[in-house]
Amino acid sequence: MTIQDLKSTVPAVFAKSASPNVSNKYQFASTESLLEKFIDTGWEIHSAKQIGQSKFAPHQIRLVNGQMPKVGDSVVQAIISNSHNATRRLSVSAGLFRLVCSNGLVVPVSVAESFSVMHMGIDFDEVQKITENFIQLVPKISASVSDMRSRVMSDKERGEFAINAAGLRWKAGQVPSTMSVESLLQPVRQEDNGNDLWTTFNVLQEKVIRGGVSYRLGSGRRSQMRSISNIDKNTQLNKKLWEMAESYI
């Protein structure tokens, strides 16, 4: 993804000031300035999105760096999150991009800390430090993934995980009774056939985030679980799914 692509799809990245609706005590933090520093230290834009069309809206950028070690079938990403309307602070957190299915995972704080960036004084050295910290985090992330890979799950555990994972999409976790466990655990691709925790987690993550699982409403009408496009909900669900997976280790 180029800077030009970013300008046309995520204009909030390039805001030069904060929303006029925020307090005059609010310190503006330029996403563009931080992004430039990341690019200067070898990171590349992988994907980005924002909520709504406002140039002050919450937005998120995922970056990759060829120098970062891979974690199994995934590459480590730096996720920059920010807004210019005081709804969130500028921060950088870790993520994984799974190559076989183009799924973007978000690593929770329990595995990799999120770096809160000060609104003033963003400099090259600070970004280099964040990059070094990410490299140091890779073994910890790899260990968590390795633990999931080596954990073989019983059919009962996989079914329980599937219902609990789908329950994150409904209030009080009440999954429609017409949504089958089999449909939730059915892999989209051959590479995801397996009963280890890592494979099961990724199959369920794709279903819960991307949707597409069919079920019937009380009226008998068929419906489908929709994809999650909202940045905040996507990130929140990703973290909860990872934490849920870790509970089985």
Q: Dump pLDDT digits (tens) for 37-87.
A: 889 888 999 999 998 889 999 999 999 988 887 887 788 888 898 999 988
Q: Of 121, 147, 173, which one is at a domain's C-terminal end?
A: 147
How much is the pTM?
0.78
**3-state DSSP of 119-147:** CCCCCHHHHHHHHHHHHHHHHHHHHHHHH
pLDDT at residue number 10: 95
**Pick the residue with more confidence: 210 or 125?**
210
Q: What is the pLDDT confidence band of residue 236, given thresholds at 50, 70 and 90?
A: confident
Q: Which two tokens stand for residue 156?
A: 């009962």
The residue length of the chain stands at 249
Q: Are residues 209 and 97 in the same domain?
A: no
Q: What is the mean pLDDT of the chain?
A: 84
The arithmetic mean of pLDDT across residues 124-139, rounded, is 76
Q: Are residues 47 and 117 in the same domain?
A: yes
* Cα-based angle 12, 16, 18 (whole degrees, multiple of 5): 75
For residue 21, the enclosing domain spans 3-147
Q: Of 147, 174, 198, which one is at a domain's C-terminal end?
A: 147
The arithmetic mean of pLDDT across residues 97-112, rounded, is 64
Q: Are residues 127 and 158 in the same domain?
A: no
Q: Of 109, 126, 147, which one is at a domain's C-terminal end?
A: 147
CA 156 to chain centre: 28
Q: Are residues 113 and 163 in the same domain?
A: no
Tell how strand 222-224 and strand 74-82 pair up.
unpaired
pLDDT at residue number 117: 59
Q: Which residues contact 86 (CB under 8 A, 6 or more apart)?
A: 18, 19, 22, 23, 26
Domain count, the chain: 2
Q: Are residues 101 and 203 in the same domain?
A: no
**Pick the residue with more confidence: 118 or 168?**
168
